[in-house]
């Protein structure tokens, strides 16, 4: 698999096989991703590899918080407070296409809620990686973190794995930090990343989002 294939074939995998991922494979992925660029080589990433009972404890904490009406309190705002075009339309289409793949009707609120809560179950992936950044770092280092995350996902593709970056799993950062023993004073939680062997036959993994053509976002100057 070359780089172009890895980028084009990568999707947000939302259904996984009941198949363990070896620690050796995870190490290979992170050993590749550690060569990602960062400003002045700061390498601002901190990763927690979460599996088994610990992952279940985080899932239970998320679901309990949601059930008890505790509002999410992420360390940062991912989306704008007011949506405008073209982003509003792209977001709407993305959601509608996903619900269509899951065979969820527009009026089926119960199934929509269950689909959202699947994020807190990490889509039943066997492994979750949580990504933290030192709070002393500024926006430039968050840019570095994005490149590191992309490297992790592409390295996972090379190992035959699917992944899904999930901002939703940073809804309750204090719960994650408490369970993992990560300092709330020092580290912000960026996101979780579900990781495992994709269930290629599941309808949700047949769904694809569209992309704009190059000319729509590129201006040439000479």
| 55-67 tens-digit pLDDT | 999 999 999 999 9
- What CATH superfamily classification does 3-208 receive? NADH Oxidase (3.40.109.10)
Per residue in 87-107, pLDDT (tens digit) is: 999 999 999 999 888 888 878
Mean per-residue pLDDT, 7-30: 96
The owner of tokens 């996984």 is 16
Segments making up each domain of the chain, as ranges: 3-208
Question: What is the per-residue pLDDT for 109?
Answer: 87
Closest CA to 20 of 46, 49, 47, 51: 51
Question: What is the per-residue pLDDT for 213?
Answer: 97
Region at 103 (left for phi over 0; alpha for psi -120 to 50; beta for the rest): left
Question: What is the per-residue pLDDT for 165?
Answer: 97
Mean per-residue pLDDT, 176-196: 98
Question: What is the per-residue pLDDT for 63?
Answer: 98
Contacts with 139 (C-beta within 8 Å, 6 or more apart), sequence order: none
Question: What is the per-residue pLDDT for 46?
Answer: 98
Inter-residue contact 191 to 169 (CB < 8 Å): yes
The yes-or-no verdict on residue 185 having pLDDT over 90 is yes
The yes-or-no verdict on residue 150 having pLDDT over 90 is yes
Q: Average model confidence (pLDDT) for the chain?
A: 96
Mean per-residue pLDDT, 193-198: 98
* pTM, full prediction: 0.95
Mean per-residue pLDDT, 125-153: 98
The yes-or-no verdict on residue 191 having pLDDT over 90 is yes
């Amino acid at each position: 698999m070359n780089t172009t294939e890895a980028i084009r074939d990568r999707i947000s995998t939302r259904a996984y096989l009941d198949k363990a991922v070896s620690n050796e494979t995870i190490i290979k992925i992170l050993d590749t991703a550690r060569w990602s660029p960062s400003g002045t080589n700061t390498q601002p990433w901190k990763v927690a590899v979460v599996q088994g009972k610990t992952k279940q404890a985080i899932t239970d904490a998320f679901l309990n918080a949601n059930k008890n009406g505790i509002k999410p309190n992420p360390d940062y705002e991912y989306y704008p407070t007011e949506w405008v075009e073209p982003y509003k339309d792209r977001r709407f289409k993305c959601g509608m296409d996903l619900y269509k793949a899951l065979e969820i009707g527009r009026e089926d609120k119960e199934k929509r809620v269950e689909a959202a809560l699947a994020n807190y179950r990490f889509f039943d992936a066997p492994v979750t990686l949580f990504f933290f950044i030192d709070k002393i770092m500024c926006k430039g280092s968050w840019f570095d973190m994005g490149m590191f995350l992309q490297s992790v996902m592409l390295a996972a593709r090379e190992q035959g794995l699917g992944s899904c970056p999930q901002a939703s799993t940073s809804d309750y950062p204090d719960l994650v930090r408490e369970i993992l023993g990560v300092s709330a004073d020092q580290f912000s939680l960026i996101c979780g990343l579900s990781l495992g062997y994709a269930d290629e036959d599941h309808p949700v993994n047949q769904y694809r989002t569209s992309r704009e053509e190059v000319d729509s976002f590129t201006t040439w100057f000479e």
